[in-house]
Amino acid sequence: MFKGFRVLQSVPTVDYFRWHITAFIVSGLMMLASVVSLATQGLNYGVDFAGGILVEVRMPDQPDLGAMRTQLEALNIGDVQLQEFGTARDVLIRVERQRGGESAEMAAVARIRESLGNGVDYRRVEVVGPQVGAELVRAGVMAVGLAILGIMAYMALRFGWRAGLSGSVALLHDCLTTVGLFSILQLQFDLNVLAAVMTIAGFSINDTVVIADRVRENERKYKQMDFRALINLSVNETLSRTFMTNGLVLAAVLAILFLGGPVLSDLAIALVWGALIGTYSTVYVAAPLEWYLGRRGGVRPDSATPAAPTA
C-alpha cells in the first residue's frame, strides 16, 4: 500500500535547542532594526497608500508591457506601474502622486494620453488623494492586528495559552521583520505587499500549528519525557513535511521573483522572505519560547521513552 512520499526517510535527531539563545539574539536584532528603520525612514509607499494617478486603458492591440513601461517612464512623471487585467488588451497604469497639486496631476494625465497616442480607450481616470492612502494604511494595520489576535485566540483554545502566546510572538516576528525589510531596503510597499504580509501570517502559523499538534500528541504518548526533548522530537518528526511544503512554496515564489517581472518583484521578495523566516521562527522562536513559559524541566525519559535527540 502506498504510504506517501517522504523527503526524509528517517526521523533526524537534531538538537534545535542548542542554538536557541543565538536565534533569540538574531531575532531580537532583526526586530530592533525593523523598528528603528520604521521610526526613522518609514516605508516607501506605493500609489495605493501614498496617492497618485490610476488610468485604466484598453489598447488597440495586445501591448508589450515592458516597452510601454519604458515609454511612460521617459515622461519623467515618477514611478510607473503597469498591470494587465481582464482581457490581454486591458492595462491598469499607476503613477505616483505629482508635486504641485491637482494641476500637476492633470498635466501628467495629459502627457500619458499624448504618449499613448490615438486609438486608446480610456475606461477610467482617477486621482487617489493622500487621505485615501492614509485610510488604507489604517485599515491594513487593523487587519494584521485582528488577524494576530484571532490566531492567538485559536492557538490558546486549541493548544493552551503558552502555545497561543508563543505562536503569536513568532507571527508578530515574521510580519514585523517583513515590513522592516521593506523599510530598510526602501522597497515599494503597496497593497500587493500588504497581501503578502497577510499570506506570511497564515503560512507561519500553519507551521506552528503542525508542530504544536505534534507536541500535544507526543505529550500524551511520552508522559515522562523532558519537555525540551519532547519539543526537539516533535520538530524532527515534522521536518520532512516542513521541507516538502515549504520547499514547494519557495520554488513557486522564486519563479515569480525571477520570471514575474518588475510588477511582481516586490510581492515575490516579501513571499520569499516569508517562506524562509516563517520556517525559522516556528523552530527557533515559537518552540523554545513555549518551553520558557513555565514548562522547563520535567522528568528525564525512562527506559520506555525514546532518548532525547542529539546533534
Question: What is the CATH number for 62?
Answer: 3.30.70.3400
- Which of 110, 128, 146 is where one domain is finished? 128
C-alpha cell of residue 11: 526521523
The domain of 112 spans: 52-128
Using one digit for the tens of pLDDT, what is the confidence trace for 201-228? 887 888 888 888 888 888 888 888 888 8
pLDDT of residue 33: 96
| Domain total of the chain | 2
pTM for the complete prediction?
0.75
Please report, in angstroms and rounded to a whole number, the separation of the first and last CA atoms in the chain: 33
Question: Is 145 in the same domain as 272?
Answer: yes
Domain boundary among 69, 98, 128: 128
Q: What is the pLDDT of residue 9?
A: 56
CATH code where residue 275 lies: 1.20.1640.10
pLDDT of residue 49: 77
Q: What is the pLDDT, as a whole number, of residue 311?
A: 41
Percent of the chain scored above 90 by pLDDT?
14
Which residue positions in the chain have pLDDT lower than 70?
1-12, 129-133, 294-311
pLDDT at 256: 86
- State whether 20 and 160 are in the same domain: yes
Are 229 and 80 contained in the same domain?
Answer: no
Same domain? For 245 and 123 the reply is no
Same domain, 104 and 250: no
Same structural domain for residues 112 and 155?
no
| 27 and 93 co-located in one domain | no
Residue ending a domain, choose from 128, 150, 176: 128
